[in-house]
Amino acid sequence: MSAEKEPLFSSKNIKLLTEPLNDSNPITVQVLGICSALAVTVKVKPAFVMALSVMVVMAVSNVAISLLRKTVPPRIRIIVQLVVIAAMVILVDQVLKAFLYDISKQLSVFVGLIITNCIIMGRLEAFALSNKPWQSFLDGIGNAAGYGIILIIVAFFRELLGSGTVWGFQVIPKGVYDFGYENNGLMILPPMALIVVGAIIWIQRAKNKKLVESN
Amino acid sequence: MKSLRRYIDKIKPHFEKGGRFEKLESTFEAFESFLFVSNKVTSKGTHIRDANDMKRTMIVVVIALIPTIIFGMWNVGLQHFRATGQEGTMLELFWLGFIKVFPIIVVSYVVGLGIEFAFAQYRGHEVNEGFLVSGILIPLVLPVDVPLWMVAVATAFAVVIGKEVFGGTGMNILNPALTARAFLFFAYPSYMSGNAVWTHGMMNGEGIIDSYSGATPLAEAAAGNISNLPSVAEMFFGTISGSIGETSTLAILIGAAILIITGIGSARIMISTVIGGLVIGLLLNIFAVNPFMEIPFWQHLLLGGFAFGAVFMATDPVSASQTPKGKIIYGFLIGFLAILIRVINPAYPEGVMLAILLMNVFAPLIDHYVIEGNIKKRLKRAKVKA
């Protein structure tokens, strides 16, 4: 159809990849996927695995829907999207259970709940249904990376301040504890994840004036 | 006084636009208006002319708190001497409390005001005075042996997350002092609850006599040891263990009187809070199934932080309801929920903090419906006439 072939990493395509990291970040700008951001960010490791799982699910289902976009009747498109996502989530869940059993235990129900993650459905509806597979793939990777980055930043602070560790390793030296330091128990509770996400949004808006609504 | 005024007038040009220290203008302004009545007048909107600005309002609250502060310091000493089985003169008791409590007050003020000044400077507005009160309320609701760095962290959290993110004094949804306490309560529970934290020296356990448990009357009641409760007089005068400023109902009543006479604290909120507490206390008495539910309903007012919360926390003019009818609903629910949480939920021996924070969140909603109701009523009246 189109006369000239677009290069794989044209500036437009690169933008698909980088924009969700900051200007249209799924968590801090679009405020989607908050539930899992609260639930799996107590420690960095599960958060990282969660981010990776979402990335796989998102990239693959974006490509699948993009390939199907001309054959799926609009009336049943949501069902088709759900089937694709659910199949991918089950696949990811089984892989985690087989190879990363401990983390799969920690993530528990939240892997299954990727199906209901609003970011994935949102990208399928908004992007994959009307774009080519390659662009959809990049869009999926970009949005999942934007989601994952926030997840890992939140988890980093929660684990550091809540448990004194990062990725399971003790970071705060024992001497500090002898001095009277205590781990912050509030950091482990879900409300603090919300506050940390809020603080990230605050900092991001202070740095990125584009995001500030004029009123 | 005159020479001070002259000195301020002399250095003032340096801080105004174009002066050497123009960046520090809001800091200068804060100190100037702290010392002298401001000559600035409001130019927009409806307003009442009064020399009583926010700084002086806040000072009255601090004055109302003085009885509880002094009593709290003395009581810290008293509890410590009781725990170690020593005798001491009144001055010795007070002095011990003073050297324990004063650093907490200093830390709370230095951290809180430091952040307030930094934000005011950065945003280029005047320094808000709200922290004058919060800074003294925070130490009063903490146990005496809380580590100072925790006070600093909690104060910073309360000022930044509880207040500045919403736009500073006057915009905060939650009471900052209670935000600080809630932060500590959930972040460092081992320093904020249990029996050992309320008495100075009990955490490391040196020289504590065996017969002294340190448990607050509330903890005793929650454990069902009603016979261990101190006498009503003791609970009223406040020679019991608890947070620094909350124990003496008498000192709090003096503060309440000052607030009500000067018109700064809302008597409406205080009274409806007390009524709310009494109603649920009575209900619990009627359906009592355990010893805690059987303690006479009016004694709940003397226990724990109920009186302190009702007088100094619930009446915070920013986070409370604004409408007269709303204030009654707001206060009633605080009292009601506080006692309900206290008696029914074993995880939280004291419900006052949680009840007030919860109602802070609901205060705007209450106001909204009170105003809507009023509009409807007046519309109806207008229609009947027409």
CA–CA gap between residue B56 and residue B47 (Å, rounded): 17
> What per-residue confidence (pLDDT) applies to B18?
66
Is the pLDDT at B259 greater than 80, yes or no? yes
| Nearest chain B alpha carbon to A194 | B161
pLDDT of residue B107: 94
Residue A154: which pLDDT band, with cuts at 50, 70 and 90? very high
pLDDT score recorded for residue B343? 87
Least confident segment among A12-21, B171-180, B369-378? A12-21
Check residue A107 and give its pLDDT. 83
Q: Can you give the residue ranges of every domain in chain B?
A: 15-37+53-265, 267-380
Show Cβ contacts of residue A144 under 8 Å, excluding neighbours closer than 6 positions.
Answer: A51, A54, A55, A58, A59, A119
Q: Which of residues 177-206 of B touch A (CB under 8 A)?
A: 183, 186-191
Residue % of chain B over a pLDDT of 70: 89
Q: Where are the domains of chain A?
A: 31-214
Q: What pLDDT band is residue B154 in, cutting at 50, 70 and 90?
A: very high
Average pLDDT estimate for A5-9 = 72
Q: What is the DSSP letter of A210?
A: G
Compute the average pLDDT of residues B210-229.
77
Nearest Cβ partner for A186 among B186, B190, B191 = B186
Residue B270 has pLDDT above 90, yes or no: yes
Helices (H), A25-173: 34-39, 44-68, 77-99, 101-107, 109-112, 118-126, 133-163
Name the closest residue on chain B to residue A195, using Cα atoms. B161
Statement: residue A162 has pLDDT above 90: no
Q: B366 falls in which pLDDT band (50, 70, 90)? A: very high
Which run of H or E residues covers position A166?
Answer: strand A165-166
Q: How far apart are CA A156 and CA A171, in angstroms?
A: 11
Q: How confident is the model at residue A88 (pLDDT cuts 50, 70, 90)?
A: very high
Mean pLDDT, residues A165-181 taken together:
82
pLDDT class of B172 with cuts at 50, 70, 90: confident
Q: Mean pLDDT across the stretch B110-119?
A: 89
Task: Tell me, yes or no, if B147 comes closer than 8 A to chain A by beta carbon.
Answer: yes
pLDDT (average), residues A85-109: 89
Say which of B183, B186, B188 has its CB closest to residue A182. Answer: B188
Q: Does B173 touch chain A (CB under 8 A)?
A: no
Chain B residues within 8 A of A189 when measuring between CB atoms: 186
Answer whether A157's CB lies under 8 Å from A196's CB: yes
For B229, the token pair is: 């409760």
Contact call for A180 and B165, based on CB within 8 A: no
Q: Would you say residue B171 has pLDDT above 60?
A: yes
**Predicted ipTM beyond 0.90:** no
Inform me whether the pLDDT recorded for B85 exceeds 70: yes
Read off the pLDDT of each residue in A197-209 and give the average, rounded to a whole number. 86
What rounded mean pLDDT belongs to chain B? Answer: 84
pTM: 0.85
| Among B304, B139, B85, CA closest to B216 | B304
Task: Give the pLDDT band (50/70/90) at residue A215.
Answer: low
pLDDT at B373: 93
Residue numbers in B near A184 (CB within 8 A): 153, 187-188
The average pLDDT across B325-343 equals 92
DSSP state of A165: E
